[in-house]
Chains A and B, each alone.
Chain A
């Protein structure tokens, strides 16, 4: 009746209807389209309404007791994990749910921020899957981080009711605070069958080797502690910073403190024992020493070492805080399992001590030299930042360790986990300590069109006893190499590689045809080498197989005026490069040049047709931190009259380009890797007055 009436009325006011329709459309448009966008601008994550399921846990729901003998091989179902070889595997996260007991009382507190971060980290990672069928590892959405925040029995029951539980197989339970008063177990008290525990504060009895993962407790305070770091001006040598220590520890430490303060009169107070403040309540940021209140952060920043003793639980946030603040932790907690100890060598950053031998601690620790203290402090901070500083990082490290267990062949090595990236460190890929036993080398000659000199060179070099093969890189696409009948007849096999593009990097390609360890790289106009020089060069390379060993040497000089490097081909007292126009090197460097060297350098060299030899010297020096080796006084390579290949190839432009190469490569590597040395090597009896009959390598020494 009313509607009809209204309609009749309204029909009379058409204009009004149109207006109202228009406005309401406008409003709804604003609400549906514009508003969410505007809202998204204000808050990053989109607001979606959470629909949470609620599960009621029956009182007598069954649980499976934790299997304390589990290993990766008998409790973990590897067949769920597919076979990806790059270390990939999938993690499924159960949907959020509310778990209550039969009386509708929740089994635990609200999900904590931290657990939420862990789950989000997984969801955002490459490991996440929404499909439980393809999942390898399962993570529940029941917050188990702190045992004080949930009811143990009901939570175990709730876990056992998870749809893919299957006795807990392949489930990962995160926990950072295990045990409750009064007995403080060192592992979370849940009954979880075959689940793995990613827990903090294990002792070596509760930790199941190769099955559980020892993680770090997260400390929100640590992040702020790691700012404003300096290792200088620390006035206390050792501090204790825990307020929850047993009185026995405190008394014994206090007596050491007293003894040291009376016997030693030093600028640095040797040991400082912190007590809980009577007035501070539960504030972690305030601590006391002899009735003076200190800021917790200041104490950490002011101490060289932080003594960490067993509190109620084995892994205290203090450990994390100390690392972050650069206070070297002395962990005197027997049997403790440190975070990620499978991959992190804590010895590099932490002093492991025994809690029963505190009286000798000071004597030993004070003997540690300053350099080592600095190094440990920096390493500790680096470990904190790389593996422990946020929940996301902790979670990802945990998953990475899991991935290494699943695919051990893709594991990172010790160095990758434990060495801080250092601008001037070098990891020599040829690290086998040996003098090469190889019997011969492969000569690689780069040629374009100088056939005469190429043939002369081949004829000459083919007589070298240690030569095993000659490979000619024919870099000319316009002209094909001479017919095979035209090539010199030689005893060793000769292989011609016709390249598809005239690129200088062709000479450094790791051809399958190179079967020897050593490569002798030659330009096609190197005509002045003697056989003795080649044989001696090869001998030197065998003694120094990770160096470039060769004849034409150059150096680089710092120009003070322009503040740049200068490429120098004059005869100097120093060398820092040996050109690959005539040099021995290990075949590995071909691989490194082609596939590992920064691509910009390779491209630049190919585009400008220059500096490939400089690039090779940079590459080797940067990888090994070693200088090349110049063999014999040889300085002329093309003809007896030529003094220097580059000195007389005049061409100022050529030199300018090479100078700019040196500067550019140094910029790309972020440092000048070349090493300057003042030595060359000669045969032992070089220039000695000695019967030539008894001398080896007589034909060495001409310029």
Chain B
């Protein structure tokens, strides 16, 4: 082709191409989609947000100096004249007072009061709280050893209109000897503020640097990680024991007459929340019962509206108690303050609380995951409440309801638990004493009975929640023989020989009581190395440092038992590591004529106690027994030199809410007295009477009877079955007669 032609051709192509492109471009849709999509290369070329990081560190002066210096002068002041709104644990709490121990000091009564010149100014409730602390493990009467201080001035009710309101608190506080601006003090409060605005902050005195454990707090007003949201409870709340939750049979699905219920006041005088005044709209008379009354205060009639008559009659138709029991959800709207009694009432009833109280910090929310037990609704979206609760699946409901019961029984059903939980939360915040994560707090049996040092954690597992982590208890056990006899005798030799035949045994320890010289050492008995530990002051359940296994087989020194029995009992214990699993069973029952609990060693169809003379239990219960039980209980045991095994059963049943487990047929587990054994105290009728007394004392100190009856016994699968003995694994058990 000629050059000219070629030239023209190229031009033409270019011209047409541009023409087509222009046409195409016009018909192309404009980009409506956003905007973010850069060219991939372009995104790669974008700078990183950290590119200027280092340039920003000033040159020439030590880095971080400025902030470091600023941190040294953290804003805090110790002055009882003000409430320090900026308090945090690091700035307002002296944790050096709590190095190893968490002890609580309660200010003694003033001299005037003790001498009777002045009547007590404390409400019954506050006095109960103080008594509980004084009788507890936390208490110390030396202020130098104390980590936390509790004042004897009643600060519970700070509503000036209330009869319990205490005047002149600021003056009284000035007289507190160890106040120190409120450092390390805990101030309990249930009500603050008064009509008409019920101001949360208005306590009528200044708390300085003290920790406020206060009911009805709002999230905004709480000093994070410092104040404690406290539950609101009745004056008649029990000190110990406490009522169980109402859910005694865990039916699925939850079938209740009503889906949602509420019965309460609304505030025509305008002093309460708006929400209360509009919730009646939710009432439909069928599955949602929301009834309100205008009656409150003296002059409600002056302010009544046209609905009041209708409302009041409807209100009378329903009974609060039966609504609680017959409803799946219970509405818990704010009243004059954020919290109300009905929160704990609903919790106990297993009626899942539906909260309409915006910004309320739920009790102990620092450690409790309330999402597992309540439904938060928003006051602003009141009319969505029915839809919200209907959207919750039956499986979730089932879980929520169980959790209400767990939380109620673990932290709220007694004043003691409420007060102890408060202390445990403070303890948890201290770096050296913290130990329990959210799992321990939010599962059964809870943090109050999970007492162990941080550094111990996972040295052994707690006996609870093995399944949650897919763990198994350690596959071996330690024998602790409690010896009250001076000499090593024949039955002991036989016992040791039988023990040594078990392949799960790791060590035998003799906790010697008779020979209390404080020396521990190895001895050879029947050719087996045995650690003799003495000097434990006859404390059977002293947590000995030599114990390396989770399982302990506790034995008296005159026990008769075969290897097969031991192995079988250990096998059963591995399935139920949180219970006492053993041989000698006893029972308790209530005697109406004597109006007391009785203890029996007769053969019965049921049992509630397994004596620790021959039983497996988890090592952790030793710790709990020694370090957690109320000092009064320990004292009872030490004074009577008896009943420690009953107390252990009380403890384990209290913690697990389950009975112990009896294994195999054996009833006589002691060497008969005519075998030349020293006379056992067991044959002494006084000894038996003493146990009766113990039982009743323990019930008083626990506040209730924790023991539970069981009517099952665990036997090997082929026990006494008509098959050849060769086929049976635990042959010796077949031969034990009763």
A binds B: yes
> When the two chains form their complex, are residues A47 and B719 in contact, meaning their CB atoms are under 8 A apart?
no
Nearest Cβ on chain B to A412's Cβ, whole angstroms = 8
Residues of A within 8 A of B469 (CB): 422, 425
Residues of A within 8 A of B43 (CB): 45, 113, 116
> When the two chains form their complex, are residues B16 and A21 in contact, meaning their CB atoms are under 8 A apart?
yes
Residues of B within 8 A of A418 (CB): 437-439
Residues of B within 8 A of A635 (CB): 721
Residues of A within 8 A of B255 (CB): 515
B162 beta carbon closer than 8 Å to chain A = no
The one of B38, B64, B381 in contact with A116, judged by C-beta atoms closer than 8 angstroms, is B38
> When the two chains form their complex, are residues A573 and B729 in contact, meaning their CB atoms are under 8 A apart?
yes
Interface residues of A in 234-252 (CB under 8 A from B): 244-249
> When the two chains form their complex, are residues A109 and B16 in contact, meaning their CB atoms are under 8 A apart?
no
The one of A182, A348, A434, A627 in contact with B248, judged by C-beta atoms closer than 8 angstroms, is A434
Q: How many residues of B contact A (CB 8 A)?
A: 150
B34 beta carbon closer than 8 Å to chain A = yes
Considering the chains assembled together, what is the distance between the CA atoms of A93 and B43 in angstroms?
18
- Interface-lining segment among A450-458, A496-504, A537-545, A560-568: A537-545
Considering the chains assembled together, what is the distance between the CA atoms of A311 and B63 in angstroms?
8
The one of A24, A46, A553 in contact with B17, judged by C-beta atoms closer than 8 angstroms, is A24
Considering the chains assembled together, what is the distance between the CA atoms of A148 and B468 in angstroms?
47
> When the two chains form their complex, are residues B717 and A630 in contact, meaning their CB atoms are under 8 A apart?
yes
Considering the chains assembled together, what is the distance between the CA atoms of A596 and B398 in angstroms?
15
B501 beta carbon closer than 8 Å to chain A = no
Considering the chains assembled together, what is the distance between the CA atoms of A504 and B69 in angstroms?
74
How many residue pairs link A and B with beta carbons under 8 A? The number is 436
- Interface-lining segment among B272-280, B371-379, B621-629: B371-379
Nearest CB to that of B4 among chain A residues?
A: A9
- A183-B70, A687-B720, A695-B605 known; A114-B715 Cβ under 8 A: no
- A112-B46, A679-B716 known; A347-B434 Cβ under 8 A: yes
- A20-B16, A109-B47 known; A436-B717 Cβ under 8 A: no
Residues of A within 8 A of B665 (CB): 686-688
Residues of A within 8 A of B443 (CB): 431
- A414-B438, A695-B605 known; A429-B398 Cβ under 8 A: yes
Considering the chains assembled together, what is the distance between the CA atoms of A114 and B75 in angstroms?
35
Considering the chains assembled together, what is the distance between the CA atoms of A630 and B568 in angstroms?
16
> When the two chains form their complex, are residues B711 and A539 in contact, meaning their CB atoms are under 8 A apart?
yes
Residues of B within 8 A of A625 (CB): 466-467, 470
- Interface-lining segment among A160-168, A261-269, A290-298, A364-372: A364-372
> When the two chains form their complex, are residues B86 and A205 in contact, meaning their CB atoms are under 8 A apart?
yes
Interface residues of B in 330-364 (CB under 8 A from A): 358-359
The one of B88, B568, B717 in contact with A204, judged by C-beta atoms closer than 8 angstroms, is B88
> When the two chains form their complex, are residues B603 and A312 in contact, meaning their CB atoms are under 8 A apart?
no
Residues of A within 8 A of B169 (CB): none
Interface residues on A, range: 35 or more
Query: Could you mark each residue 365-398 of chain B with 1 if its beta carbon is under 8 Å from any beta carbon of chain A, else 0?
Result: 0000101100111111100100111011011001
- A437-B249, A572-B717 known; A427-B468 Cβ under 8 A: yes
- A19-B9, A83-B384, A408-B376 known; A50-B35 Cβ under 8 A: yes
Nearest CB to that of A547 among chain B residues?
A: B575
> When the two chains form their complex, are residues B31 and A51 in contact, meaning their CB atoms are under 8 A apart?
yes
- A78-B378, A210-B219, A684-B662 known; A310-B68 Cβ under 8 A: yes
Nearest Cβ on chain B to A289's Cβ, whole angstroms = 18
Residues of B within 8 A of A553 (CB): 717
- A78-B380, A369-B459 known; A684-B252 Cβ under 8 A: no
> When the two chains form their complex, are residues B52 and A109 in contact, meaning their CB atoms are under 8 A apart?
yes
> When the two chains form their complex, are residues A143 and B49 in contact, meaning their CB atoms are under 8 A apart?
yes
Query: Could you mark each residue 607-649 of chain B with 1 if its beta carbon is under 8 Å from any beta carbon of chain A, else 0?
Result: 1000000000000000000000000000000000000000000
A626 beta carbon closer than 8 Å to chain B = yes
Considering the chains assembled together, what is the distance between the CA atoms of A689 and B41 in angstroms?
90
> When the two chains form their complex, are residues A591 and B47 in contact, meaning their CB atoms are under 8 A apart?
no
> When the two chains form their complex, are residues A684 and B713 in contact, meaning their CB atoms are under 8 A apart?
yes
> When the two chains form their complex, are residues B219 and A591 in contact, meaning their CB atoms are under 8 A apart?
no
> When the two chains form their complex, are residues A679 and B467 in contact, meaning their CB atoms are under 8 A apart?
no
The one of A31, A360, A369, A680 in contact with B21, judged by C-beta atoms closer than 8 angstroms, is A31
| Chain A at the B interface: SS class | loop
Nearest CB to that of A432 among chain B residues?
A: B402
Residues of B within 8 A of A187 (CB): none
The one of B62, B220, B250 in contact with A69, judged by C-beta atoms closer than 8 angstroms, is B220
B119 beta carbon closer than 8 Å to chain A = no
B658 beta carbon closer than 8 Å to chain A = yes
Interface residues of A in 58-85 (CB under 8 A from B): 69, 71-73, 78-79, 83, 85
The one of A352, A626, A687 in contact with B431, judged by C-beta atoms closer than 8 angstroms, is A352
Residues of A within 8 A of B68 (CB): 246, 248-249, 310
B708 beta carbon closer than 8 Å to chain A = yes
> When the two chains form their complex, are residues A177 and B575 in contact, meaning their CB atoms are under 8 A apart?
no
The one of A109, A143, A220, A335 in contact with B90, judged by C-beta atoms closer than 8 angstroms, is A335
- A24-B17, A210-B359, A679-B714 known; A111-B46 Cβ under 8 A: yes
- A360-B432, A678-B717, A686-B713 known; A48-B65 Cβ under 8 A: no
B53 beta carbon closer than 8 Å to chain A = yes
> When the two chains form their complex, are residues A433 and B444 in contact, meaning their CB atoms are under 8 A apart?
yes
Nearest Cβ on chain B to A86's Cβ, whole angstroms = 8
A530 beta carbon closer than 8 Å to chain B = no
- Interface-lining segment among B316-324, B450-458, B486-494, B593-601: B450-458
The one of A44, A72, A181, A685 in contact with B58, judged by C-beta atoms closer than 8 angstroms, is A181
- A112-B46, A148-B55, A371-B458 known; A591-B394 Cβ under 8 A: yes
Nearest CB to that of A404 among chain B residues?
A: B371
- A146-B50, A347-B437, A422-B470 known; A433-B716 Cβ under 8 A: no
Considering the chains assembled together, what is the distance between the CA atoms of A525 and B371 in angstroms?
47
Residues of B within 8 A of A677 (CB): 571, 575
> When the two chains form their complex, are residues B712 and A539 in contact, meaning their CB atoms are under 8 A apart?
yes
Considering the chains assembled together, what is the distance between the CA atoms of A275 and B380 in angstroms?
54
Residues of A within 8 A of B444 (CB): 431-433
Residues of A within 8 A of B606 (CB): 684
Interface residues of A in 158-200 (CB under 8 A from B): 176-177, 180-184
> When the two chains form their complex, are residues B657 and A434 in contact, meaning their CB atoms are under 8 A apart?
yes
A17 beta carbon closer than 8 Å to chain B = yes
Nearest Cβ on chain A to B514's Cβ, whole angstroms = 34
Residues of A within 8 A of B722 (CB): 703
B56 beta carbon closer than 8 Å to chain A = yes
Considering the chains assembled together, what is the distance between the CA atoms of A396 and B361 in angstroms?
26
Interface residues of A in 1-47 (CB under 8 A from B): 6, 9-10, 13, 16-17, 19-21, 23-25, 27-28, 31-32, 43-47
The one of B49, B95, B387 in contact with A83, judged by C-beta atoms closer than 8 angstroms, is B387
Interface residues of B in 394-447 (CB under 8 A from A): 394-395, 398-399, 402, 405-406, 431-432, 434, 437-439, 442-445
B307 beta carbon closer than 8 Å to chain A = no
A656 beta carbon closer than 8 Å to chain B = no
> When the two chains form their complex, are residues A696 and B605 in contact, meaning their CB atoms are under 8 A apart?
yes
Considering the chains assembled together, what is the distance between the CA atoms of A703 and B719 in angstroms?
12
Residues of B within 8 A of A689 (CB): 738
> When the two chains form their complex, are residues B605 and A685 in contact, meaning their CB atoms are under 8 A apart?
yes
The one of A93, A145, A428 in contact with B49, judged by C-beta atoms closer than 8 angstroms, is A145
> When the two chains form their complex, are residues B607 and A414 in contact, meaning their CB atoms are under 8 A apart?
no
B299 beta carbon closer than 8 Å to chain A = no
Considering the chains assembled together, what is the distance between the CA atoms of A355 and B444 in angstroms?
34
Considering the chains assembled together, what is the distance between the CA atoms of A703 and B723 in angstroms?
11
> Contacts A13-B5, A24-B15, A428-B467 given; 6 further ones with Cβ under 8 A?
A27-B13, A78-B378, A246-B62, A572-B717, A633-B721, A682-B719
Query: Mind listing 27 A-B residue pairs with CB under 8 Å?
Result: A20-B9, A27-B17, A31-B21, A45-B40, A71-B220, A73-B359, A110-B47, A113-B49, A148-B52, A210-B219, A245-B64, A310-B67, A351-B431, A368-B455, A408-B376, A430-B402, A432-B405, A433-B406, A517-B252, A540-B712, A553-B717, A571-B721, A681-B712, A686-B715, A688-B603, A695-B605, A697-B605
10 closest Cβ contacts across the A-B interface?
Answer: A424-B470, A367-B455, A408-B376, A24-B16, A112-B49, A625-B467, A437-B248, A282-B54, A246-B68, A20-B12
